[in-house]
Structure formats: structure tokens, C-alpha cells
Structure 1
Amino acid sequence: MSLQKIVITEFMDQTAVDALRSDFDVVYDPGLVDDAARLHQAVADADAVIVRNRTQVRGELLAACRKARVIGRLGVGLDNIDVAACEARGMAVIPATGANALAVAEYVIGTAMLLLRGVYLSSAAVAAGQWPRAALSSGRETAGTCLGLVGFGGIGRLAAGLAQALGMRVVAHDPMVAADHPAWRQYGVTPLAFDALLACADVVSLHVPLTPGTASMLSAARIAQMKPGAIVINTSRGGIVDEAAVAAALKEGRLGGAAFDVFEPEPLTAPNAWQGCPNTILTPHVAGVTAESNVRVSTLIAAAVARTLKD
């Protein structure tokens, strides 16, 4: 009897891959995501496909998955997977819920501290003999500032705990969490309407999935409502924010800084609105990817996919 086949299209922890190989025929090729012809051929007889965020499981690729019973997602966002179409075909879709939450929460708090203080991007100038001490003497301390979380799920709650340990006040907006939900009291977080949050937060961090209801939710009009000098952090999805409006507000000095890990589209192409923005941290969709989180995510998905195939 031949082994069931699992195709892994993007990078995965090697130990988790090896664990799958003990019971399955595993094709592990992180380059498949960039070679449509080979990818379609590889998944044609696969019983399971494991992806990250770049593999688009929809349209032609989904049609090519003629045998697959399960799609494993090495992460939590599902906007690259046509979940409804998968389920209509009897395919389970399994995200790695919670496994990378701490990595994202630490990214949020770390970048918030960097951008509030505003001094850590001066290395090149100092090494070149400049001494911008006066210009860099008005940075803000983290303690006493207000963190506004747009979305109060697992990542938001972890970020709230880290922020409060540093002396930040935390407010959040999440219409999916009822005002009387015990999490508000448990985490010491004040629920607010979105516009009220934007008006009071020194740091606004986005933690919502990309849906028709959240697309462009941080629009130019809403960016104009934010506190002067506020910081915006996006680790959710690029389509949630009007990136050009954020860039314009940074260049005009209305916003104090930005940390973006996600963009629309990815990767960015030059020229783009972000070029020349002050006090800005741009990273290539890695907020949730650390050595530790990769192990957790990979181990969780390997076990869940194996369990599904064995049922």
C-alpha cells in the first residue's frame, strides 16, 4: 500500500518535516511557491498540502488539488486560501492558531518602543561622525502612553499584557468581543469605539483579518483623526490600511512613526509611497516568524495534518 502524499510549498521546520516523513510520502520544496507549473504538478496527487501566506490556494491551484483532503496553513491568516471553496470540496483548512502569537506581540511592543523613543535609527549618522544629540532628545518614554489595539483576540491580549508591564495604558476596539466579555476585566483593557480609540491612542496596532468589512478600515479620513505624533503598527494585512495616506502623514509630520510588516501588494515595488518616510520600520512579513514560533507553528500543523489524514 502506497503512503499518502503531503506537499509542502514553503519553508517549514525541518524536524516537523522529518516527523511527517516517518508516516507519509513528503515532498518538501520551499521553491514550489515560485514555480506554478511544478507546483500544480506536485499537488495533483497530493492528499494534503501545507502552505504559508504566499501560496494562493484558489482558482487553478485549488483545481489542481484533485485528491487533497486537507490544507495546512503555517500561520493564522486565511486570505490566501479560498476557504469556502475548499470546504465545498470536502477539504479541511487548518491554521496554526495561537502558535505565533507571542512573536507578533513582541514585534508590536518592540517596534512601539523603538518608534516612540525615535533615537535608534541614527547609527549610520553617528558612525559617519555626526552627533544629532539635540535633534534626538525629544523622544518619548513608553510608560504613560496609550496603546490602542484594533482587534482584541489572542495576539492583542498578549500585546496588552506586555504593554501594561511597561506602564502603558491599553484600550481596544473589537466588535466581535461583547462589552461584558470577561476578557476586558481579566486583561484590564478598556473597550472603545474605533474613532474614540484613534483619538486617544499614542500607538495604534492592528490585529484584524482582511475581510470585506476590514478592507481599508484605516483610511485617510481616519488617519486624520489620530493624535498628532501617533505611531501606527500593522502586522495584520496590507489591505486593511491606506498605506499611501500613512506615508503622506509621516512625511508631513502628522504621524510620529510607523512599523509595517504587511503590505498591498507583497513584495513592494519601487517606486512606492514608503520611500523617504521618517521614523519608519518596514519588514518583509516576518512579525510572526522567529526560530521558536517556526517550531511551534510547524509542529502544530504537522500533527494536525497527520491526524486528519489518519482519521
Structure 2
Amino acid sequence: MSLLIVEPLEADVMQWLAERHPVVFAPELALEPALMREALHQTQALILPPNVAVDVPLLRAAPRLRVVGRMSGGGENIDMEACRAARVEVIRSATATASAEAEFAIGALLAMLRRVPVQSSDGLWVGRELGCITVGLIGMTPAARALGQLLPAFGTRVIGYDPSLHQSDPLWQQWGIEPVALHDLMEQSEGVCVQLAYFPRYRGLIGERVLGFARQGQVLVSLAHSAVFDEYALAAALTSGRVLAAWFDSLEPGQLEPDRPLAGVSGLQVTPRLSGTTRESRTRAAWGVARRIDELLNTPREAAGEFRPTAPAVLADPSGEPRWR
């Protein structure tokens, strides 16, 4: 077969691919690793759900594999170095979910600002308005750039920080986001949105030294991998009230178990990766992945060039379109 699809796609996208390539649709293989490896022997292209890891054993079982497509933007369980060594291109839709994630983050901020009251000067406990606060964005992903465009419409001041982007970079001005140091962002922001792309070196980045600078009564939304937070420091910030509420769109498995620091902490809300999952974003992602797979399968391997991971390069392109590295 040319293309094995393990993640459900839009019907018109499936039909478009089937008209161009031999396609096998087998979502049940996501739960059958042995059968998956057997099916991969003759597979050239593969579309996988986020719960299936792209690792060395999978790649060894697929000697003809040229491309792996992933509908969601997360790459935590994709071994990029192994893919590079095997000359397997990884396609992730880095921009398809940006507007959906930005809308989700704004909705979460609005909900927390109203549902978690603060005491006003007259002694009443009241909510706050998004248009009268400063929001700090940590991580300049496509979703963050969308937030930089949407939040000022409310009257919100928007500041930002990214560890891979210097404050003097002209991209900040192009995006309309004021760059600041991380501790300044935490001190100045009543609301914080974290959408930092995950790399192992960022594990625990937002810990005691960062959360200790949080403005009193801050609310926080995270669309990032939860490993960028130190769970002990986060629990302490929520328990003390320095951070009034935090909304995580995913947590690592087990983080709410009784013996973990976040267990039973009030003010913490968790949703199961809802931010980027909309009908519209799925359609955009499906077409983006399908067109690139079609292009690659119609190109001889020797002419296809070197390995190209699609998602990380978007940071360097203010247009929001992926730029190959």
C-alpha cells in the first residue's frame, strides 16, 4: 500500500487521497501495536493519531516509509532524530489549530476572570474584565500570534516572552506584542497564557523562580505540555492564592493522583486537549497533511530532498505559514 490512515479524516479528504493513491483505512491499528508493525512493512505514508508514538521500533518496522502525518500539532512522542536518520518526513499542522486555540484561551480567561472574584475597594467580591488587564503570552506559537491580534480588540494590553526569541527581534513589532523578560511578564500580567512548544530542556521551566513573581490574583491558561511547569511550585502558587486559578488543556498522566501535589488543589481546571479540536481546525489540518503527502508520494525519493520537520520552523515566519529548515 502507499498510504495507511490510522486516524479518522474528513470524508472528502479521504476520497481525494483514495483517488490518487492506494489507501488503507484502519483506525483499529492504534490499539494493536503488533498488527500495526505488520501493516507497516509495505507502507510509504502514514497518518497517525497523537496517542501512537513515532519511535525507533515503528520506523524499523516500516522500511519503505517516507512520511508520517499527524493531525494535531503536538510532537512530544515523535522521535525527530530517528525520523531524520530514517529520512522520514514528519508533517504536523502547526497553523491549522491556531485560531481555535486562541479562541479557547480567550474563553478560558473570560470564564476565570468572572468566576474567580477579587475584592474591590468597597469590600465586594467581584469579577474582572478582560479589556482592563494585561495578558502575558509565554511562547510565540501561531496561537500566541493569533492572541496578539485578538486580545487588543478587547482593550487588553499584550506582552510576551519566548526563550528562543530575543527582545530586539523585529518580529515582536510585526506581531504587535511587547517583549519583556519572563519575570517582568509574571509581575505585570493579571492573566497569563502559556503555549510554549515543548522541548526537554523546557521541563520545569515555569517553577518556583517564575511563579514566585506572579502578580497577586493572577489567572493562568496553559495550552502547552504540562511538563513545562514544576507541579510542586504550581500547587504552592494555587494554594497560596498568588495564582487564583489555572486552566490546563492537558496534564501528564497521573498528575492528579492522590499522592501528587496537584491532587485536590482548588482553582485548577483540566480539559482533555479541547483547545485545538474543532470541526474547522480538523478540516484545515486534514487538507494540509493530505496535500503534502500527495506531493511527496508523487516525487521520487531521491528528488524529495532532506528530512523536513514541518512544525518548529513556523516561529521564524511572521506570515504564519511553515518555513522549512
Q: How many Å apart are 1:298 and its aligned residue?
A: 0.7
Question: Matched residue of 2:130: which SS?
Answer: coil
Q: How many Å apart are 1:293 and its aligned residue?
A: 0.2
In 2: Cα distance, 1:284 partner to 1:273 partner? 20
CA contact (8 A) 2:193 2:221 kept: yes
Query: What amino acid is the match of 2:89?
Result: A
Q: How many Å apart are 1:119 and its aligned residue?
A: 6.2
Q: Which runs of 5+ in 1 are unaligned?
A: 121-134
In 2: Cα distance, 1:31 partner to 1:249 partner? 42
Q: How many Å apart are 1:234 and its aligned residue?
A: 1.2
In 2: Cα distance, 1:164 partner to 1:309 partner? 43
In 1: Cα distance, 2:42 partner to 2:256 partner? 35
Structure 1 runs (4+) deviating above 4 angstroms are 272-275
Change (3 A) 1:220 1:30: farther
Q: How many Å apart are 1:177 and its aligned residue?
A: 3.0
Match of 1:189 among 161, 171, 177: 177
Question: Matched residue of 2:201: which SS?
Answer: coil
Partner of 1:45: 42
1:96 maps to 2:93: yes
Q: How many Å apart are 1:181 and its aligned residue?
A: 3.3
Q: How many residues align?
A: 293
Query: What amino acid is the match of 1:288?
Result: G
In 2: Cα distance, 1:174 partner to 1:254 partner? 23
Partner of 1:54: 51
In 2: Cα distance, 1:31 partner to 1:112 partner? 37
Question: Matched residue of 1:257: which SS?
Answer: strand
1:251 maps to 2:239: yes
TM-score, normalization by structure 1: 0.86
CA contact (8 A) 1:170 1:190 kept: yes
Q: How many Å apart are 1:152 and its aligned residue?
A: 1.9
Question: Matched residue of 1:210: which SS?
Answer: coil
Match of 2:111 among 110, 114, 131: 114
* 1:201-234 residue CA offsets vs partner (Å, 9 max, x unmatched): 1112112221133111111332222112111211
Partner of 1:127: none
Q: Which runs of 5+ in 2 are unaligned?
A: 118-122, 300-325
Partner of 1:307: 295
Q: How many Å apart are 1:169 and its aligned residue?
A: 0.7
CA contact (8 A) 1:9 1:55 kept: no
Change (3 A) 1:136 1:63: farther
Match of 2:16 among 19, 24, 33: 19
Q: How many Å apart are 1:165 and its aligned residue?
A: 0.9
CA contact (8 A) 1:119 1:136 kept: no
Query: What amino acid is the match of 1:171?
Result: I
CA contact (8 A) 2:238 2:245 kept: yes
1:227 maps to 2:224: no
In 2: Cα distance, 1:119 partner to 1:202 partner? 12
Match of 2:73 among 71, 76, 99: 76
In 2: Cα distance, 1:303 partner to 1:136 partner? 56
Give the superposed CA RMSD: 2.2
Match of 2:277 among 278, 284, 289: 289
Q: How many Å apart are 1:78 and its aligned residue?
A: 2.1
Question: Matched residue of 1:44: which SS?
Answer: helix
CA contact (8 A) 1:118 1:139 kept: yes
Question: Matched residue of 1:213: which SS?
Answer: helix
CA contact (8 A) 1:115 1:279 kept: no
Partner of 2:128: 140
Once the two structures are aligned, what percentage of the paired residues are identical? Answer: 30
Question: Matched residue of 2:73: which SS?
Answer: coil
